[in-house]
Amino acid sequence: MATAEEVAKAAERRDIRGRWLLSAPALLVILLAATGPLLIVLVYSFLTPGPYGDVKWQFSLDAWTSVFLERDIFDDTLSIAAAHVTIFWRSIKLAIITTIATLALGFPTAYFMATRSEKTRDLWLFLITIPFWTNLLIRTFAVLQIIRNEGIINTILLKLGLITAPIQILYTDTAILLGMAYVYLPLMVLPIYASMEKLDFRLVEAGYDLYATRFQVLRRIIFPLVRPGVIAGSILVFIPALGAYVTPIVLGGGKNLMLSNLIELQFGQGRNWPLGSALSISVMIIVMVALLAYVRNAGSSGVRHG
């Protein structure tokens, strides 16, 4: 006869098996069309570049050394790969600022949407996504129209007499930031909205009953409750921003590379696929470490249900 403990164990095993089955389709698609093929990239990072792109099947660690170190082209001295460090740092910096900016804008917006009457909430949800039914390239070009020297902002400022010459926004880091914040804003708003939408306002009421100020209510009650949404939103903005490809080209004028452009250069005109592969894996590792640290940190202090 099975003891109660064994029965419970069997039920738990059944539950876990069921859970694996549930996530199987997602895992399968990702394995086939995303993760699996990446093993190729891992292998490529240890090979020798082919003369005109692709690889030669010859083991080499050159790609990995040149991620971090560079041999000076002219005097053959080894030094830290300053160009790579600069590009990594610029990308990380811009991605962090973009995340903060979208959070600052997106949190109140999501809150506003979630506090509308139940009937109109879906409408607000659609309203916020509609601008994004045009693709990224087109949206980026639309931003360009606004910030360029002959664009709306400069024209209005000139007409008002606030400035005498157009402000050069286009082709600066500011332009990249504006563009990314614009492009990735819904990735922040939607997850926050999703977790805020069913926020229990009785808790908020209880807070006010206990003489909490509005700010205290926001910080101590609302924010902890929607933390999972904030985490999800930050991840969804940070990672694509780190890998932004189109925005630096269109709004930054392509003068300063970001990570994706650097990697693209290796797979394209640079014809150094192993280095491109090694750089990509480095990026993946950075992102994974950052992600784990962030989720662990943010998750442990969050309010957990269930």
Partner 1 sequence: MAKNFSIKHQPGFTAVAATCFVVLYLPIIVLVLYAFNAANSTSEWGGLSLKWFRSAWQNTEVIDATLRSFQIGAIAAILASIFATMAALATTRTAPYRGLTFQYAAINQPLMVPEIVTGVALLIFFSRIKIFTGYSGLGYLIAAHTAFCIPFAYLPIRARLENMDLTLERAAADLYATPWKTFRRITLPLLWPGILAGLMLAFVISLDDVVITEFVKSGGQDTLPTYMLGQIRRGITPEINAISTAFLLLSVAIVTLFFFISRKRD
Partner 2 sequence: MNWKTMATAMGLALLASTSLARADGALNIYNWGNYTSPDVIKKFEAKYNVKVTITDYDSNDTALAKVRQGGTGFDIAVPSQTFVPIWIKEGLVLETDPGKMENFKNVAPEWANPDFDPGRKYSVPWAWGTVGIVVNTDVYKGPANTWGIIFNTPDELKGKVNVVPEMNDVMFAATKYVGAQQCASDKETLKKVRDLLVAAKPNWIAMEYNTIEKMGAGDFKATSDWNGSALRQRLANPAIHYNYPKEGFGLWSDNVMVLKEAKNVENAKLFQNFIMDPENAAGLSAFHRYANGIAGSDKYMPADMKDAPEVIIPADVKEHGELQKLCSPEVQEIYTKIWTELQK
Site string for partner 1, 250-269 (x = CB under 8 A): ---------xx--xx--x--
User: What is the sign, positive or negative, of the torsion defined by CA atoms of 45, 51, 52, 55?
Assistant: negative
Q: Is 291 in the site for partner 1 (CB under 8 A)?
A: yes
Of 175, 283, 172, 180, which Cα lies nearest the Cα of 241? 180
CA dist 62 and 45 (Å) reads: 9
Radius of gyration of the chain (CA): 25
- Residue 86 interacts with which of partner 1, partner 2, none, CB < 5 to 8 Å by class: partner 2
- Residue 129 interacts with which of partner 1, partner 2, none, CB < 5 to 8 Å by class: partner 1
Of 100, 64, 70, which Cα lies nearest the Cα of 85? 70
Task: Compute the least distance from the CB of residue 65 to partner 1, in Å.
Answer: 20
> Judged by CB under 8 A, which of 3, 74, 77, 119 binds partner 1?
119
Pairing of the two strands 55-56 and 69-71: unpaired
CA dist 188 and 254 (Å) reads: 26
Buried b (16+ CB within 10 A) or exposed e, 131-146: ebeeebeebbeebbee
**Which residues, including other chains, have CB under 8 Å from residue 255's CB and lie 6 or more apart?**
171
> Judged by CB under 8 A, which of 41, 105, 270, 302 binds partner 2?
270
Q: Is 84 in the site for partner 1 (CB under 8 A)?
A: no
Residue 217 · residue 134 · CB < 8 Å: no
Q: Which is nearer to partner 2, 5 or 76 (CB)?
A: 76
> Judged by CB under 8 A, which of 31, 69, 78, 163 binds partner 1?
31
Q: Is 156 in the site for partner 1 (CB under 8 A)?
A: no
Task: Compute the least distance from the CB of residue 205 to partner 1, in Å.
Answer: 5
Q: Is 239 in the site for partner 1 (CB under 8 A)?
A: yes
Task: Compute the least distance from the CB of residue 71 to partner 1, in Å.
Answer: 25
Q: What DSSP character marks residue 304?
A: -
Residue 90 structure tokens? 């610029």
> Judged by CB under 8 A, which of 14, 61, 69, 126 binds partner 1?
126
Residue 245 · residue 267 · CB < 8 Å: no
> Judged by CB under 8 A, which of 79, 269, 300, 301 binds partner 2?
269
Task: Compute the least distance from the CB of residue 79 to partner 1, in Å.
Answer: 26
> Judged by CB under 8 A, which of 150, 284, 288, 297 binds partner 2?
150
> Judged by CB under 8 A, which of 40, 69, 78, 293 binds partner 1?
40
Q: Is 174 in the site for partner 2 (CB under 8 A)?
A: no
Residue 213 · residue 221 · CB < 8 Å: no
Distances (CA, A) of 84 to 53, 251, 261, 280: 21, 21, 12, 12
Tokens 């939607």, residue located: 190
Q: Is 235 in the site for partner 2 (CB under 8 A)?
A: no
Q: Is 19 in the site for partner 1 (CB under 8 A)?
A: yes
Q: Which is nearer to partner 1, 61 or 142 (CB)?
A: 142
User: How many residues in the shown chain lie near partner 1 by CB under 8 A?
Assistant: 107
Amino acid of residue 273: W
Q: Is 67 in the site for partner 1 (CB under 8 A)?
A: no
> Judged by CB under 8 A, which of 14, 141, 163, 168 binds partner 1?
141
